[in-house]
Amino acid sequence: MSTREASSADEPILEGMDDLTAPMRAGEKPKADWRIGTEHEKFVYHTGDKHAPSYDEDAGIRDILMSLREFGWEPIEENGHVIAMKGADGTVSLEPAGQLELSGAPLETLHETCNETGRHLAQVKEIGERCGVGYLGLGMWPDKTREELPVMPKGRYKIMMNHMPKVGNLGLDMMLRTCTIQVNLDYSSEADMVKKFRVGLALQPLATALFANSPFTEGKPNGYLSYRSHIWSDTDPHRTGMLPFVFEDGFGYERWAEYMLDVPMYFVFRDGKYIDAAGLSFRDFMDGKLSVLPGERPTASDWWDHLSTAFPEVRLKSFLEMRGADGGPWSRICALPALWVGLLYDQGALDAAWDLVKDWTMEEREKLRTDAPKLGLQAPIPGGGTMQDLGREALKIAHKGLAARGKLNASGDNETGYLETLDEIVSTGKVPAQRLLDAYHGEWNEDVSRVYKYSF
């Protein structure tokens, strides 16, 4: 989740729609300047008894964060607590229950992205060996109850955790018990953004299936392949989902801003602290009628904060965020940006990907979103066939898109190699969660603690 560093008292006040769409318009970049930003979370556990470390305990989350200083990272604080570390490779942030996230820097190639991931994992593993902690690449804690998990000292989390149970049954699970991989991508114009948004949203269930990696809850199979994805269906209907309006005529920056104005607020950041505004209206804020800040009107930073509080399958800020994948190991961290860059960053690939999905109805898109977390690649797709068939076609397109980019590493390899792990998943039809379930019912003898052998 976003890390706020400071608030500015002299920021201009938002006046109207031009100001609300300014972040999206500012995101427009020529193709030569398009970049790849990859975010990935992992669970932290004590290697002795497998508990999730608290913030303050010896060798806990604070100590892990601060140990990153030896690699050149600098702390970001909130009310005396270190909530993130900032460095050349982006930001390592403090997630709600101590999940460790790298929000990577915007990079030109997938080679750079995978090298960044490797540096980060090498650093935290070195720290982990000294601190007696390990890191688990899954979409959901396989064995922890909510009550067994710590809560990190970050102001926005307290507000969100208080509000979540009022609007859904699984929001606290989302915050405390899940991990994801996400990729952030650029666009050249409003029309380019719209096409990428539509393709990304329609194909997000495919990413959910390919990366499905959360089949256990509290030590037992939960009936899903991606329970993390299912959790979003009962978190908060006002800020999640497949967004039918994205596929309607006239969708663009203004329509996105109108949607965000109707997403209920969580908070306002003032003087280094979060003020609880959960459930209140940003439209009222625009009119100076926000009950917790009477007479005040929002700044650009307030709007940017608010843009980070919607959680649909694809999210727009000054870039597009692809949000459908479970957390996983190194190879799949590199594979997610490879999939989306391959589909969206070459015009021929983008056109071909749109041809795959353009005739789907909203009902068909919603059904695929519902089916993917449970059925994975066996989910039926519109027009006949299964998600496995869709995966074959999408990966063909992604391979061509990456080859057309012609981004080579020092050995002369292009970027298509990062798709190999997905090629294997589609070839077999067996997603990561199914392999875990096979092991659980076989060699693990139904002992889910054996999953810790899959640590980074």
- Mean pLDDT for the chain? 96
CA end-to-end span of the chain, whole Å? Answer: 22
* Other Cβ atoms within 10 Å of 384 Cβ, number: 7
* Size of the chain in residues: 456
The total domain count for the chain is: 1
Is the pLDDT at 155 greater than 60? The verdict is: yes
CA dihedral of 404, 202, 302, 231, whole degrees rounded to 10: -120
Task: Tell me the β-bridge partners of 91.
Answer: 86, 103
What is the model's pTM?
Answer: 0.97
pLDDT in tens, 296-305: 999 999 999 9
Give the HSE-up count for residue 325: Cα atoms under 13 Å, Cβ half-sphere.
Answer: 32
Domain range enclosing 31: 17-263+310-451
Task: Identify whether 302 is part of a domain.
Answer: no
pLDDT at 456: 80
DSSP code string of 46-108 = ETTT-PPP-SSSTTSHHHHHHHGGGGT-EEEEETTEEEEEEETTEEEEE-TTS-EEEEEPPBS
Q: What percent of the chain has pLDDT over 90?
A: 96
Task: Identify whether 9 is part of a domain.
Answer: no
Task: Tell me the residue type at 34.
Answer: W
Q: What percent of the chain has pLDDT over 70?
A: 98
Is the pLDDT at 22 greater than 60? The verdict is: yes
CATH number at residue 442: 3.30.590.20
pLDDT in tens, 79-116: 999 999 999 999 999 999 999 999 999 999 999 999 99
Task: Identify whether 2 is part of a domain.
Answer: no
Is the pLDDT at 330 greater than 90? The verdict is: no
**101, two tokens:** 């996230």
pLDDT at 288: 97
Q: pLDDT-derived band of residue 9, with 50, 70 and 90 as boundaries?
A: low
CA dihedral of 238, 314, 229, 269, whole degrees rounded to 10: -60
Q: pLDDT-derived band of residue 171, with 50, 70 and 90 as boundaries?
A: very high
Across the range 201-210, mean pLDDT stands at 98
Task: Identify whether 1 is part of a domain.
Answer: no
- For residues 376 and 431, the answer to whether their CB atoms sit within 8 Å is yes
Task: Tell me the β-bridge partners of 220.
Answer: 217
The H helix count followed by the E strand count for the chain is 16, 13
pLDDT in tens, 227-249: 999 999 999 999 999 999 999 99
Is the pLDDT at 289 greater than 70? The verdict is: yes
Alpha helices of 407-448 — where are they, by DSSP H?
Answer: 420-428, 432-441
- For residues 54 and 64, the answer to whether their CB atoms sit within 8 Å is no
Task: Identify whether 108 is part of a domain.
Answer: yes
Is the pLDDT at 7 greater than 80? The verdict is: no
pLDDT in tens, 188-205: 999 999 999 999 999 999
Is the pLDDT at 8 greater than 70? The verdict is: no
pLDDT at 2: 57
Task: Identify whether 294 is part of a domain.
Answer: no
DSSP letter at 277?
-
Task: Identify whether 4 is part of a domain.
Answer: no
pLDDT at 3: 61
pLDDT at 331: 86
Q: Read off φ and ψ for residue 18, nearest 5 degrees.
A: -60, -40
Across the range 435-452, mean pLDDT stands at 98
Q: pLDDT-derived band of residue 425, with 50, 70 and 90 as boundaries?
A: very high
Q: pLDDT-derived band of residue 4, with 50, 70 and 90 as boundaries?
A: low
pLDDT at 1: 53
Across the range 304-326, mean pLDDT stands at 98
pLDDT at 10: 77
pLDDT in tens, 359-395: 999 999 999 999 999 999 999 999 999 999 999 999 9
Task: Identify whether 289 is part of a domain.
Answer: no
